Structure formats: structure tokens, C-alpha cells
Structure 1
């Protein structure tokens, strides 16, 4: 009986339940999309790892937890053991799965390229041919299409391999004439491009693709000075072979090496599990935002059911008159909530699934570093959890309204149906808990700031986060005390605008609990958005200031560090003028970096890098030109760290190159990235060539350094030159901060959308509550337009004040968070993104106005005579 009645009441209240259903559907769609996306990412990672083994059935690898980086031989197979595996009955092929890097050059173009060996069986080859052939001799190489394009080569062309290998000939040091071993410097080898390869399963996408050389060439490059040791081996079985028997035979070969034999699927799965810690953190992080959205949805749902119960007062009272028990009324409300939660969660699951499927289809058309499946697959967790969480949140949100339903007395059935009376604010217990939480949280935040500034960053983070969360819970708990008063005060301040504004302010303060709950829902999202915006802006400004104080060179263009000194090729003649002509570049200074021997105090460095700089031309390219003061034919500029750690307090430094030796007095400066700087006149005495090998670049606008850095990178693309420096770090840092901020604000935006649905829901329910009041106002002359205006202003007041309060709280929490996170290593200066925060408030007010349209039309359409009729 009660079940049928519950569903009948739901059908009558379908319009009132719709907004609550939308709120929970959005939240559960968020959860479902996160879980499904996590499954897609894991599946894509699995496919990528499994692809390395080709069509192998078994994988021989280090047992879990065996060995370590410096102890490879304790869990690796040697060549003799690999040959034993190949002789086992049922084994068609067994090859190591490993890669190495080659330094490839074609003229001025250079590239570090991941490289694998041609397998003994084509079935173990993870790559496919696009054109040409796989290498058949030691002087051939097959390249990925991107690498071939970057190097400017095609099948049949030749390039140079600069790699360490046993074929190296003895060389002579430029400094002392002593012979060096083969591995002291790279050896030039000419390779012919045999073909272009593709990586269809993205097995080597994280390494930028893989080139292919013969097994002998690979061994020479991978193991130039030692016997090969293999930690990962793919085993291909003959048709009809007994997998279990072969596995046992292989295990007996490598048992003493700490290795184990697994199926390919098991090996790929264990590899993914070993590295999915970051993925789990990612999933949990996204789910935390889903939890925020569901919390906001719970506030919306609770509001909805409170008003629905109030609207059904006469129905509930009549049920009491005919014998319904209090427990039956409570069960009816809970059943209604559970049904709403289950149906809405199912809709949310469908929406979230559709979103991920569309995303997968779109990403499948984009060249990513991992293979993207064409269809999503549903795990039990991805289906069950959204349904359970959505239903549970809805039921929990309905418990307080369900309790209110049991308090309806049978005599209520004998009275006319009136709008629910305004409820009181919070009680003393709530006030006490509010004060304890806010004050306790504030003390924890202060302690977190102090700990962070004293170098105890982890303790500071723990205290700061706990204090922020605790105090914010207190703020939300106490919202019933202060939010309605603030909204009412703002309304009264604006009451001179007309009677509609006066009515809006009065209506808001009639039910403090509901006003507080509605504003709190919006308050949560806006506070977090504002906090992240303020924190990001402050971090960006503080870290930029720290970089400015540490680095004098905005951008430095230089070759690979291992090839510094006399082996570095001079910069292309046109590069300096090309960089100087770029928009955003203010000054460019040439620098020659040479490899020499230095001696000072008790420390001698056989290979040290010295920069030869003309102080007259270089000063303009530095943020602080004074660092070159004192640089001349008898003095070298050294960094404070270099003086402390290498010169041992000595005031002189001896520099020896291929052309001679000099001893100079040192001038110590607080500089980063410049250990030793000498004058050109000194450079001519110590080395035979002082041709520029790098550039110091000063940018015009540090705030727009990112675009300038990208232009400089474009100018040196296709060469082995690197672009580094403070502006590069600033650009990378700002890009990371902006990306994180965009993602976080986007995720929090879902909670804000749900909160605005709550505003619309509150206004809609308010219209239903005040039908008789609105009819009376219409009867005494209030026009439809004025009635709609009243609701519009009510919506804008609730949304606007909630947004302003959220921004104020966000400023506070963003500032505290910045002090906790950055206080230990940077001077933190509060930076307020006024434009962003103003936009947040503006959008909230506009959304509040939009949310009032449907309720306003509903109120205006109701006839005064119909509304005044006694129910």
C-alpha cells in the first residue's frame, strides 16, 4: 500500500524532483566518467606494454622485488642462458626486449633516437614497415617517420651515428696528449637508412618512437664494454607446444638468476600495476572533485525533499488519520529518495559512459603516445560504484526531511494548506561546534604557515590542509547564522530600488536554513575556484620573482653538455642574427664554452667548462649587468658555489687548455648557471678556438616569455642545440600552473553548475510555497512583471552574495595555501586575479537571473483566484 502511494506521490511531484535528479545525475556522471576513463587509460597502457613482446606467449623477466639498478646481474640472463632457452623443445624464438639510444646526425641536424634490434623472428617485431626494408647489415638503420623527417633523410640516404662502441679507435686528449679508452668519446659511424617504420601499437611512443638496427649493431651500442645481460626476454612458442612444460623448462634455466617466467598477459599486467601508482593518484584526485559535486548535489536534494515534505503536510496528516505509522511515513520518503537516486544515477551512468565513448572516438583520431581503444569496456566497479554512491548520497540527503515527515500531526489534515512557516536558524549546539571548528582550523593553518616557513614543509602541508578543511566545514555548518543575514542586509541596502527588491529581501530571510543551504552549495564551488585562482596567481608571481633573483640570463642556447669544450661545433653563422630578429628578443650576446682543466686550492678538475664572454657586449643581455664587473685580462668571474666547493677558499684559479695556461684572480658573484667566466683576451691564451658555441638571450617581456621561447626553439629546431634558462623555466612553470588551474576550475565548474541548479530549484519550490501570498499580492495590484522581477532579484541576491562570500573565503584560503606551499623557499606576495574573480561573480549573478526565469513564469501564470482557493 505505502509503496504504491509513494510512487503515486512521485508522479505528482515529478517536476519538483527533476532538478534534484539532474543534480545527482551530473554527480554520478562525473564518477562514472572518471572510473571509465581510468579503465581506458589502464587498458591503453596494457596494450602499449604488451606490444613490445610481439606475438610472444611467454616473458622471462626479473622476479618481483629482485635485484636493483646497481645489481643487474643478480636478476638477468646472460648470452649462454639465452641460448639454452632457444634450445628448449617447443621454443621457436627467444629475444631480449630492450632498447638503447643512438646520437644520429645529418649535417647540422641531430637527434637522440631510441633504437631496438631486429628480432630473430618476424613474429616478435612490434614495428611495421612503411617503406623500404628492415636492416640486413650492420651499417643499416630503419627510422620512424618523424625521425626521418627531422633529420631530413629517406631510404637510401646516409647519416652519422655518434655513439660509444667497441669499434672506437684510440684518441688523444687536447690537453695532455694522453691516450684515452674507446668509451671516452663517441665514434662516428656511417649508417644507411634502409626503411621507414611505424609503431602501430605505440610500444615505444613514450620514447619518441624506435629505430631498428641489426642485432650485432645493437649489441655493440648497448653493451660496448661488457657482456650482454638481459632482464626482459620474449619467448615465441612453436605451434602445438605445451606452454606449461616450456615455462617450467625455462624457469629451471634462470631460477638462480632471480628471474621468473610469465605469460605475456601476466607480464603486461604486472608492469602496469608496478607503475599505476600515479594513475591511482590521478583517479583519486579526480574522484575528490566528484565528491565535491556530490556534496553540493546532496544540499540540493535535501532542500528539495524538505519542501516536498512541507507541501505534503495535509497528505501526510490524512495518512496519519487513517492509521499510517510514523515509521511508514519515514520509509515512504526514504523509498522515494532511493528510487530517485537509483534512476538518476542510472541516467548519470549512461551520460558519463557516452561522454567517455565520445572522448575515446575523438582521441582515436589524434596521434597520442598510447593506443586508444575504439570502444570502452565496462568493469564491475565502473558500473556499480556510480549507482551505489548516487543512491546512497540521495538517501542520506533525505534523512532529515524524512524525520520531519514523522512530526506531522493528524490535526494538520483539518487545516487549510499553507506555505511552510519560516524555520529558525541554528541552535546553540550548532553555534558551539561552528566556533570550535573555525577557531581550531584557524590555529592549524597558522601552525602550518609557521612550520612551512621553518623548513618543515610536509608538516606545514598536513597542518594547513587539515586546518583549511576543518575551518571550512565550520563555515558551512555556521552558514545558517550569517549567510541569510548578509543576504538580507544586502537586499535591504538595495530596497530603495522598489517594492520588488524589498519583497525579494524579505522572502530570502523567511527560511534561513534553506537560504543557507542554497548559498552554501554555491559557496563551496566558488570558494574552491577562487582559492585555486588566487593560489595559482600568487605561485606564478612568487616563483617568477624567485627566478628573476637567481638567474641573470633569460634564455641560453647551447649544445649538449657532453660535447662541450673543444669538440663543440660553432653556432651556425646566421643563428645569432636570426634569434636577434625575433619578436620579443631584446638583446643577444655570443658565448664560447670550452672544455679545460682548472685548478684552485686543493681541487683539480680535469674537465671543466669555462665561458668566454665579452663583457662590453654581454652586459646588455643580462638582468644584472654588474655581475661582469671586474672581468678583464687578469680576473675571472666565478659563482659563489664554485668558489666554496671547488676553489676551497683560494682567491686564484689556474686554467689550462690546448693552447696554454693562465692563472687569474677571482671575482665572486652570486650567479646561477655560470661557474667560471673569462675575458676573450684570456680565451685566446688557453684555447685555439673561441668561436661562439652558445648564446645569451634577453627577452623584452618576461610575462610573455613563453611565446618568445617557442620562437627561439623553432629557430634551432633540427639541430642539437638546447634552449634553457630562467625564461624557459618560467614558461614551463606558467604553462604547468595554467594547465592545472584550467583543469581544476573545469572540474569545480561542475559543482558550481549543480549549485546553480539548486538555486533554480529553491526558487521553483519557493513559488509553490508562496502561491497564496503571491496571489494576494497580485490581487492588491502587483503586476506579473513585478512578480517575475521579485523572483529574479531573489535569485541574483542568493547567487551574487554566495559568489562574493565564496570569493572572499577563496582569497583567504588561497593566501594561506600559498604561504604553506611556497613559504619555505620563496618570498610570497599575494596576487589577486581581479579579472578572474570578477568574472566568477558576474557569471554567478547572471546564472541566478537565468535560474529565476522558469519559476517566475510559473508564478506569473497562476491565477490569483486559483491560488487563493483553499486546498
Structure 2
């Protein structure tokens, strides 16, 4: 039987290619996922270990290490150097440019230095600093320049027992650094200062009763010729209880496990997408083997007639599936490994700022898991066809070789199960939406996922009952275009099980793509609404933010901002001092109401602003106990009073008056803020830095708050995540489209005699090819449309559940993505018909009508 099976595979090699390609893509997906997970683990570990540079050991304890503990480590025999791992944060400025950056002390031993000097040197004396190249460029400084460090120190002589006061130091830039191994990549780089400066700053910042500083770990360098294990044991003995002394690599692995909860989340998520791809591949494989068995009816019957039993026939089909699974899986492993290696080379060339391995690591898991999964999926997918092969009776060999028919629909039990799953799933999904909108988003999301999965499985199980009807309906709409369309529709309905399996494979991929696109579009719309309420303008330029001086914004700064690239309009706000009836003093801002409504993101929220009105955010009104419509009397610094009506608005409004009211209250009011509106086509990530550069030479300290950049960054994150997810799910769609091509190819083989008859009665080759093209587009189009409808429904349900914690959820339809998916499906259905159409058109009527 093995020789016979191999001979049948050689005869059917063309039919097996499509199924093989499907499993190649699926296993390549699994292989690439496992390799990528390993690369990410290695990259993370290398990045963590890079902080310890060339240290021999890292000592840590559950309760951290004190300064005395670190000193005790230095006295251990064989120890050459010890440095505590410590960080500080520096608020650095130069002119109007400012950064808040992580800082590390210069090491006492070169083995502990994770950074490389690009220009100049490391700091060796107090008051010196070495900056990362990017930070130096951002501040616009070089070697020999000075930067200002702002920090808070504790003043014990202040009233009420002491208080913090701001101190500014001048630090001299002595060098610039690079981070070649990504030691501080996650923190955006690190500034290097002397250990003496770090100790002095911490001492000045500490309150009298504040506990002594502790350290998470200490780096240890051993003397030459020292035995590592001997010193390791001695270090543990000299450390607090439960302390550990490990190598940098061991420490990195432990920290990485803590960060991920000892779970490789990334790998699991991507393997979920690989499972979807393999599920679709299984549908394609099942469909292929069903038709192969149907095509071999006479051969199987002859085998039964000459003595082959049912188990031998079943083993023949399963053996064929096993061989196909093993060969295709090996191809998928090679393809996945090759693609991942190419991706590594591209990533290394892109200089991402993190240590990327040069080569992939091919472990037994990387080879065996995809091989096992691909083979098992192929064999399991062939169970139903193998069972069908055992039902072939010997008398089938005596029947005419008509085209096989698999027109049997689903049974009553299948209908009941599908109905129960669909109804129950939709009920649970509705309950999840209700829970999410009533303040229980976590439970609602779990219920929503469970309900969505149940209902989707119900839809797939019951597809054989309703999907052919949908195809028939669409086919009747196309029937008016001619006899070719009517023939194509009839061909799709001749074998409803196979048509359903093919459309279902595409339905799965398209549903998931549409669901993620819809969810992301709704998230983006809801996020825009929330950001518009939180940040009323694109960019805020001010002198009175974060405790700044509150001086007037110079006129040249206003003109510079107005002329910056990407700026559409600028509105000035004046700052006035006011006193509430309860004696509280605060700053209110005045703005021209008409101009304000032209620049803000939500003009309707400023509709109440007019003379005699004080605008407050709803949160501030609640905090101050001020009701909407309440009358207040404000008192200016010169005793002038102003009677106003308090009105509450969106989140971003804070004590806002009309300009004339503010100047009447405080005649000395100056312009302290600018509201900046950007052009709709402007890129915020370029426009905001352009504004910062425009005011770099202004003498007055001016802050630039770019709310538009935050919005753009959040949208960029959503778009990036969506792009990755859709790209992963697109693999399933590609596999499903292979199934469409496979179905058409097998359909051509089945209908050789029918095609010949059509040619004999006058159907041209072009019409025959067009008939198959309509058939392919009909199968792909119906699957895509139904998938889009289900995807939008599930996407809305997920958005309503998960995003309700943000407030009102704005549901959206990603029309561009929906149209793109539909067009791709139709074009792919058309392309899938090209080769089968040419095969059908090349067959002469006489040859096709010959008896097999």
C-alpha cells in the first residue's frame, strides 16, 4: 500500500501543492514566532546584563543593600572592586530647552562602565557631566558648555519645621557618550556624573528622619586568578539574609522573568495568530483531501474489489497526509528561519538602539514544535476524508466516472448545536457589553471575549446551512448579466459543503482583520474625543506653567510662534490675579471668546464664555464646591471687584474669563500664555519642535506643552499595533485565498466532461475562463462581505466593552480598511481563477469527452 500511496501522490502532485503551501505558511508562522520570541528574550537579557558591563558578579538581597553592606563586600578576599547600582534623575536645561534625564555615577572601575565615550571624557571632578549624544544635541551643547541642573533640597530652617526649595547648579559638559549595548535604552539613555555629586545631592535632598539610602544590587569585580565560586560563597556569607551572588547573565534572566511574570507573553500572543493560520490551513487541507478521495472513487473501489480492506484504505489516506505534513512542515521551518534571519539583518542595519543578535538560534524546540504541529494538523484534517474513503463500495468501480458530488448538507444535530452556540454566545456578549458600560470593564471584557468566541464558533459550525443560501442569493443578483454568471452560480451550489469550507476559511481571516480594524478605529475616535476634552488646544506656550515666573511672553516670541511651520493660528491669554470670596488667591486667565472658539478642539465647550462669565472645568467646580450658574465676586490686586457667573465646561478649562473682564479685574495683567492651533495637515512631531526652536533665543523662560504630540504618539501606537495584528492575520487570509484557488483547480478537474460539453455547444474559451473567474470572485466576495459584517459587529462590541472606562465610546467603521479587504478578496478570487481557467480552456472537447 505504501508504493501505491506514493504513486497516487505523484499522480496528484498538482492537487497537493495548494494544501502543502497552506501548511508551509502556517508552520513558517510558528517557526518565526518561536525564533522571534527567543530573539526578544535574548535581547531583553542582554540589555539588562549590559547595565553591569564586564562585572564578574552581581550581589542582591530581598531587602536591598545598605551602604554598610556594600562596604562589607569590599572586604571579602578576592574582591578587587565593588560599586553599588544606583540611579538619580536630573532636570537639565540650557536656554529655553529642558530635559528630565536618568543619571548614573561614574564607576570606580572601568569594568563597570556600560557606556562608551564618543567625545571628551567621563567626569572626574564635581560639577562635571557627560551627556548622551542625543541629549547634548537636544540641549544644543557641546564639550566645554554649561548646563543648569535644577533640584530640590531640604531647608530645615524654613518655617513650619522645614520645606523643600529649588537649587540650581551649573554643570560643565566634559564628554558625550553612546550606549552601544542598550544598557539604558528603555530609559532613553543616561547622564553620567561623579559619585561624589550623587552622594551630595542625595544628602541635601533627604529629610532629617528619612531612612538611609539602600541599593537594589552591587557590582563586583574579582582580582585576577580568583576562583569565582569561592568568592561567590564568601560574598553571600558577608551579605544580608537570603542574598544572592549571580553573574550578570543570571541576574538578567531572573529580572526578565519578573518583568513578564515568568511568562513569554509575546510568544503566546503571536502563537495565537499562528493557531488561526493553522486552523484556516486545516480547512483548506480537509477540503483538498475530500476532493482527492472523491476523485479516486473508482481507484478505491477497484482496490476494494481486489481485496483491500477498509483499514488499508484509511491508512493510505492518512499516510499520504503524514508525508504531506512532514514535507510541508520542513519547508515551513526553513522558510520561517530564513525570513527571521533576514529580519535580524534588517533590524541590525536600522540601528534600533538595542543589542540585536547577529544570527538566529535554531534550538530543538524551534524545529520539533513546528514539525509536530504541522504534521498533526495535516493528519487531523485528513480524518474525515479517510473515513469517507472507507465507505467506498467495490461496486463503485462499475459506475460511470461522473463528477463526484458532495452535496449533502448538515444534519439536524449540527443545526441544534450551531443555534445554541450562536444564541448563547450573543447573549453572553450582550452581557459583557452591559457589564463594561456599568463600571465593570474587566469582567465585561472577559464575558465579551467568551461570548464572541462562542457565537463565532456557532456561526462557523452552522455555515453549511446558511452560507450556500447567501451565495445563491448573490448569484441570482448576478444572473441577469448573462448565462456565464448563471453557470458560475450553479457550479458553486453544486457542492455546498466544499463551497462552505472554502468561504469559511476566508470568513475567519476577514472577520478577525475587520474586528481589529473596527476596534482600533473606535479606540482612535474615542481617544481623540477624550484628548480634545483633556487638552483644549494643540499646543500651549506659557511662562506660568509648573511654577514658572509668570512673566509676560515677549512680542518677538508671539511673532516667532505665529510664523513657525505648521502653525495655523495663535491666540493670546492674559494672566490676572484674583481673590475668591473665601480669601483664596489664584490666577485667572483672560481670552477673547471668539478667537478662543476658533483655536480650540471643541468650540462648543466654550459656547458659554462671554463677558461676565467664569469658565471652570467640571472637576475644579466640584473640588471648589462651585455650582454651575452660581454667582461669584472676584477681587483684583488693586481692590477692583468683578461679579461673574460660574459656568462648567470640558476638562481642560481652568479659571477662564473674557479678556476685558481680566484686564478690568487686574489692570497689570500680561500675556502669559499662547494657545496655538496647528494646520490639519501639519505633523505635530515636527511642528512642536519647530515652535521650541523658534523661541530658543527668548530671554524669558517659556514652556511648550505639545498636547498634539501626545495625541499623535497615542494614535501612532494604535496604528502600529493594528498594523502588526492585521499583518499577522493577513497570513490567514492568504492561506484562505490559496484554498479558493485550490477549490477552483479541483473543480476544473471534476468538470472536465461538463466543460467539454459547454465548449461543444458553443461556449468560447474566454467565456469558460470568465465563468471560473465569476465563481472565484463569488466565493471570495461572499466570504469577505460576511467576514466584514461579523468583524464590525465584534469590533463594536469589544470597543463598547473595553473602552467604556474612558467615558463615552465613539463607535466607528474603518471604511478604508473595509473597502481594501473587499477589493483584495475580489482581486484574489479573480487571480485564483487564472491558472484553473487556462487549464480548462486548453482542454479540447474531444479529449475531455473521452472515457477514462
**What is the TM-score with the length of structure 2 in the denominator?**
0.90
Contact 1:538/1:832 (<8 A) preserved:
yes
CA–CA separation in structure 1 for the residues paired with 2:551 and 2:234? 54
Which segment is superposed worse, 226-235 or 577-586? 577-586
CA shift digits 1:504-553 (9 cap, x unpaired): 11111111100000111111112222223333333333443454456543
Change (3 A) 1:825 1:46: closer
Q: Is residue 2:671 matched to residue 1:695?
A: no
Moved more, 211-220 or 642-651: 642-651
Partner of 2:209: none
One of 586, 589, 592 as aligned partner of 1:612: 589
Change in Cα spacing, 1:137 to 1:296, as seen in structure 2 (3 Å) is: same
Asked whether the equivalents of residues 630 and 667 of structure 1 are also in contact (C-alpha less than 8 Å), the reply is no
Whether the 8 Å contact between 1:611 and 1:674 is mirrored in structure 2 is no
- Superposed, 1:209-288 pairs within 5 Å as 209-226=189-206, 227-256=212-241, 259-277=243-261, 280-288=264-272
291-300 or 680-689: bigger deviation: 680-689
Using the alignment, how far apart are the partners of 2:512 and 2:587 within structure 1?
49
User: What is the correspondence of 1:775-854 to structure 2 with a 5 Å cutoff?
Assistant: 775-823=756-804, 825-854=806-835
Matched, 1:712 2:688: yes
Distance in 1 (alpha carbons) for counterparts of 2:320 and 2:448: 41
Alpha-carbon distance change, 804 to 371 in structure 1, aligned in 2, over 3 angstroms: same
Per the TM alignment, residue 16 of structure 1 is displaced from its structure 2 partner at its CA by: 0.7
Q: Residue 542 and residue 218 in structure 1: after superposition, are their counterparts in 2 closer, same or farther (change >3 A)?
A: closer
Query: In the alignment, is the contact (CA less than 8 A) between 1:631 and 1:637 conserved in 2?
Result: no
Structure 1 residues 49 and 830, CA, compared in 2 at 3 Å: closer, same or farther? Answer: closer
For 2:553 and 2:281, how far apart are their aligned partners in 1?
A: 61
Work out which of the residue numbers 349, 355, 358 in structure 2 matches 1:365. 349
Identify if the C-alpha distance between structure 1 residues 385 and 558 changes in structure 2 by more than 3 Å, giving closer, same or farther.
farther
Residues 630-669 of structure 1: pairs in structure 2 closer than 5 A: 630=611, 637-646=615-624, 667-669=646-648
Deviation at 1:829, TM superposition (A): 4.9
Pick from 134, 146, 159: which aligns with 2:147?
A: 159
More divergent stretch after superposition (196-205 vs 406-415): 406-415
User: Does 2:587 align with 1:588?
Assistant: no
Q: Aligned partners of 2:80 and 2:847: how far apart in 1? A: 88
Change (3 A) 1:671 1:837: closer
Paired residue for 1:399? 383
Are the aligned partners of 1:660 and 1:687 in contact in 2 as well (CA < 8 Å)?
no
Q: 1:286-685 to 2 correspondence within 5 Å? A: 286-548=270-532, 552-558=536-542, 563-566=546-549, 571=553, 573-582=555-564, 585-591=567-573, 610-615=587-592, 618=596, 620-622=598-600, 623=603, 624-630=605-611, 637-646=615-624, 667-677=646-656
- C-alpha RMSD over aligned residues: 3.2
Q: Relative to 1, partners in 2 of residues 1:559 and 1:403: Cα closer, same or farther, differing over 3 Å? A: farther
- What is the deviation of 1:448? 2.0
CA distance in 1, matches of 2:639, 2:238: 59
Shift in CA distance, 590/277, structure 1 to aligned 2, threshold 3 Å: farther
What do residues 753-812 of structure 1 show as CA deviations (whole Å, max 9, x unaligned)?
Answer: 111100000000111111222223223333322222221111111112222222222232
Q: Number of aligned pairs?
A: 836
Displacement of 1:210 after TM fit? 1.4
Whether the 8 Å CA contact 1:349–1:386 is kept in 2: the answer is yes
Query: 1:100·1:221 contact (CA, 8 Å) conserved in 2?
Result: no
Out of 87, 109, 121, the position equivalent to 1:99 is 87
Of residues 158, 178, 185, the one that matches 1:198 is 178
Is the contact made by 1:555 and 1:709 (CA closer than 8 Å) also made in structure 2?
no
- Judged with a 3 Å threshold, the aligned counterparts in structure 2 of structure 1 residues 193 and 442 are, in CA distance, closer, same or farther, namely same
Kept after mapping to 2: 8 A contact 1:787/1:859: yes
Is the CA contact 2:642–2:665 (under 8 Å) kept in the aligned structure 1?
no
Q: Does 1:60 align with 2:59?
A: yes
CA distance in 1, matches of 2:218, 2:586: 42
CA distance in 2 between counterparts of 1:575 and 1:545 reads 31
Q: Single out whichever of 525-534 and 188-197 deviates more from structure 2.
A: 525-534
Greater mean deviation of Cα atoms: 825-834 or 15-24: 825-834
Structure 1: segments with no counterpart, 5+ residues: 64-74, 173-177
| Cα distance in 1 for residues equivalent to 2:331 and 2:540 | 55
Where 1:54 maps in the other structure, the secondary structure is coil
Contact 1:593 1:609 in 2 (8 A): no
Q: Which residue of 1 aligns with 2:751?
A: 770
Task: Note if contact 2:534-2:652 (Cα within 8 Å) is conserved in structure 1.
Answer: no
